[in-house]
Amino acid sequence: MPAVIVVGMQFGDEGKGKITDYMAERADLVVRYQGGSNAGHTVVVGGVEYRLHQVPSGILNPGKICVVGNGVVVDPSVLIKEMDDIESRGHDVSGLRISHAAHVLMPYHVRQDELEEGSRGARQIGTTRRGIGPAYTDKYSREGIRFGDLIDEECLRKRLEPVVASKNRLFDRLYGASGFGFEEVYRAVLAQARRLRPHIADTARLVNNAIAGGKKVLFEGAQGTFLDIDHGTYPYVTSSNPTAGGACTGAGVGPTRISGVVGIVKAYTSRVGSGPFPTELLDEKGSSIREKGGEYGTTTGRPRRIGWLDTVMLRYAATINGVTALALTKVDTLAGTGKVKICTAYRLGSRTVTEYPAAMDELARCEPVYEELDGWSDEEVAGVTDYDRIPASMRRFVSRVEELVGVKAALISAGRDRRQTISRFEVF
Ligand code: GDP
Ligand code: IMO
Ligand code: MG
């Protein structure tokens, strides 16, 4: 039963896109299970960069079925633009399938996200302003429009008309903002629906049949464990479940069908938006890692906050996700940094804690306890694709991370390109 979940173990941007693309070479299906166009997954193949927001990162491997699962909220304008871009660069998107139960992210969700963020003042979450929170809110309040609703045009009119009217009342009365003309919204979504209709399918059945037939399925999470609506640093989180359990609900697959969970860990930590970040570096060291690692948001271009690796958080993420193997990325970015630090515990008042605190106000007061390791140089890592050839200091870093997190690293990524990946054991 080769069905493996790829999950971010930090605050997103761990390199899920790169690792999914690498692993997709051996997969038959790649399935996105949550999030929306807030995700920005970068894949580099043969020096050419692709930034994917809605389409699974398996799309650049020919002949794969790429599924946008029921747990995803899809902005059709972003999806179509991305499909056109991928096609214009010589790739085939005919293998793309969209769940009939995935929710359609509408222009009024984007407006609502902007207005809500604007009204939060100092309590801003720092959302990507892609309409994610409002789209999931409508899903759970049963006001959402699903891809299956786009097939019958008259039914769509009946479902959409009262929703647009209610959004317009909200914008006007709460924010004094202008609304949307119904016909305009309806006509735009119909045009998008006609383009996307051939791709809409019962994807839960498709994925389950593939697993039953012995096919290899890769589930690609967006965001990361600490942005999870249940397990993250609430309220500074996204509105879905990036954690491994989200793959089951977000794709319609039972937990007994999952054979492994690969946790993606960047060799240091980054975070975009507000919220607690115990190992954050506000000094020159943080800036130099940001510049070297190109740590600017793939979706919004915002500079990412940078910090040392935090194994207190990683241990928690390994537990919550049931991680069976790690993929450690961006070890090359730490090259030439001098000594490398790993947070092994927190100091909380007079106590030293090794377990991730359940209360968010406690996390905000935690001071990291560091262990210092020898670093490595750019020359030592350049072009290395064999684990036995990596510098001894980096091997010690990898072993120490494995020991502290309690999970072995199957993959080590030492560069942006698909080829710059070291495989130690098979995960499929
Ligand atoms: P994702 O959201 O988890 O898919 O990650 P992003 O794509 O948003 O951010 C990761 C960034 O690091 C991208 O620019 C990747 O091309 C890049 N990247 C991924 N793995 C490596 C690596 O091992 N080394 C370097 N230097 N860059 C990497
Ligand atoms: P990938 O898949 C990093 C962050 C936002 C904000 C919070 C809520 O590329 O790792 P939202 O727009 O989801 O309501 O914003 O979550 N965020 C991400 N940070 N990587 C992402 O995706 C993110 N998607 C959302 O910055 O703090
Ligand atoms: Mg990203």
Supply the residue whose CA is at minimum distance from atom 13 of ligand 1: 42
Report the pLDDT averaged over residues 24-46: 97
Query: 72: CA distance to ligand 2 center in Å?
Result: 14
Q: Which atom of ligand 1 is nearest to the CA of 329?
A: 23
**Is pLDDT at 1 greater than 90 in this prediction?**
no
The pick from 7, 9, 18, 238 for probing ligand 1's pocket by mutation, whose C-beta has the most ligand atoms within 8 angstroms, reads 18
pLDDT of residue 44: 97
Query: 53: CA distance to ligand 3 center in Å?
Result: 8
Report the pLDDT averaged over residues 4-28: 98
127-149 pLDDT, tens digit each? 999 999 999 999 999 999 999 99
Ligand 1 touching residue 413 (CB < 6 A): yes
Beta bridge partners of 409: 326
pLDDT of residue 332: 97
Query: 367: CA distance to ligand 2 center in Å?
Result: 24
pLDDT of residue 283: 96
Q: Around 323, how many Cα atoms within 13 Å sit in the side-chain half-sphere? A: 29
CATH number of 103-199: 1.10.300.10
DSSP H/E element including 320? helix 311-321
How far, in Å, CA of 213 to CA of 65, rounded? 14
Report the pLDDT averaged over residues 309-317: 98
Ligand 1 touching residue 294 (CB < 6 A): yes
Query: What percentage of the chain exceeds 70 in pLDDT?
Result: 100
Query: 416: CA distance to ligand 1 center in Å?
Result: 6
**3 state SS of 352:** strand
Domains 3-93+202-423 and 103-199 belong to one CATH topology: no
pLDDT of residue 428: 86
pLDDT of residue 322: 98
250-301 pLDDT, tens digit each? 999 999 999 999 999 999 999 999 999 999 999 999 999 999 999 998 888 8
Q: Are 104 and 120 in contact (CB under 8 A)?
A: no
Residue 13 is a catalytic residue: yes
Average pLDDT of the residues of the chain: 97
- Residue 294 has phi, psi (to 5 degrees) of 60, 45
Supply the residue whose CA is at minimum distance from atom 14 of ligand 1: 42
Query: How distant, in Å, are the alpha carbons of 32, 52, 53, 65, 79 from that of 98?
Result: 10, 16, 14, 11, 10
Of the chain, the end-to-end C-alpha distance in Å amounts to 9
**3 state SS of 303:** strand
Ligand 1 touching residue 8 (CB < 6 A): yes
pLDDT of residue 300: 84
Q: Which atom of ligand 2 is nearest to the CA of 128?
A: 12
59-113 pLDDT, tens digit each? 999 999 999 999 999 999 999 999 999 999 999 999 999 999 999 999 999 999 9
374-427 pLDDT, tens digit each? 999 999 999 888 999 999 999 999 999 999 999 999 999 999 999 999 999 999
Q: Are 246 and 240 in contact (CB under 8 A)?
A: yes
Q: Which atom of ligand 2 is nearest to the CA of 132?
A: 14
Query: 239: CA distance to ligand 1 center in Å?
Result: 23
Q: Is 349 left (phi over 0), alpha (psi -120 to 50) or beta?
A: left
Annotate 219-281 with DSSP letters as a single string: EE--S-GGG-TTTSSTTSS-SS--STHHHHHHHT--GGG--EEEEEEESSEEE-SSS--TTB-
- Name all residues whose Cβ lies below 6 A of ligand 2: 8, 12-13, 38-41, 125-128, 130, 132-133, 222-224, 227, 238-239, 272-273, 298
Q: What is the DSSP letter of 35?
A: B
Ligand 1 touching residue 330 (CB < 6 A): yes
Task: Identify the active-site residue in 21, 28, 41, 199.
Answer: 41
pLDDT of residue 18: 98
Q: Where are the domains of the chain?
A: 3-93+202-423, 103-199
153-197 pLDDT, tens digit each? 999 999 999 999 999 999 999 999 999 999 999 999 999 999 999
CA angle 111, 113, 118 (to 5 degrees): 95
Ligand 1 touching residue 36 (CB < 6 A): no
Ligand 1 touching residue 332 (CB < 6 A): yes
Supply the residue whose CA is at minimum distance from atom 16 of ligand 2: 238
Residue 41 is a catalytic residue: yes
Query: 350: CA distance to ligand 1 center in Å?
Result: 38
CATH number of 3-93+202-423: 3.40.440.10
